[in-house]
Chain A
């Protein structure tokens, strides 16, 4: 299960709304307590996809490395990635799956007509063939 605290959740939704009609992306920092991942900070990262960003996002590994360093400096862990789906449901698409990593939780925010609609979290597998849902609380 992953629980996102109010402040990072508000930052993630604001980032997704501000990026509309393009996709946004970022990193989630926090801690794991028992079986629950708790997100305490969200870091917005640049969508580095070269092309139309309404339906694509790409994280620079350099930016992810910096996010991991920031987490360590703040005595937190990098525990997940988030991105938005403008005018689209919060599902884990084939493109998401093919470009995923099994190490992290992936939160997808559905932004419909510029406003937050719903969100889901996924845990992709090693073979990038499936990504079961992870219980998400926000």
Chain B
């Protein structure tokens, strides 16, 4: 990976110039990575025990999410995300409970239980655009979000994240092309985690990786070690700086590895060699950053262990609180289709509530599910 930006090597040794970050920021980044892993592990347990229906493993990719998140100024910037990026939300102060609300699809969920788990949507504390299952659709949207800010003379940028598989979608190519033509302040962050469900990178593209794909659109491409949070931070920070200065978009390929299945419905042992997981375990983004922080004297072993225990407890507690919240009322099936509910939906909503409340199945006459 000679053309790949790396600051910490897999053993945690500094091999490049570290970005100047305050100790609190470094610890906040580490803590977000630890919490990302804890959230992921809790969700896996909840899914395996039948408490939630689905999750998207985030193990192994934590540095890509957190390194990019730390480069943003959420007072003005937007994120148009894909589904494998828990760390961006956790770094920026989205409460674990709010994320668990989505995992459970309860009444407090940002999408009011309408979407599958992991399809988050937040407006506060950061503009984290509603996640879609069709891939790559967020990419041209990010360009529009960026063009709006540029048109108004604002300094904000939009970070859009996607996997290696999504570089084959219409959205990637149209989004990159528009961004190049209009000089939009957008950072395209490709999380190259090696797999598009079961299809390896070589079945996705014949090109030498993904960073080179910027060239045809007049967009600089940068390749970075995606398991090195400092390198991801540096690459994204530089791209943000360029975008704010009116120098246009950047494509960043963060090379990492998905240390699990595509989703909880997928069994990676059918197509990933066990040796490959073992090899990538050696490059664990958490271990690497932890080792360096301890070596630098910014973190102690005890502090790290306490942080991990605290994160596990936080996620367990958040899941319990979310689990106890009621289901959304039946009316929510019909709200938010349009700003104002048209008459045909009012008719359907009234019928639906009447039908189910008359059958003694736990639905009251308001269409709610009293506990």
Do A and B interact with each other, yes or no? no
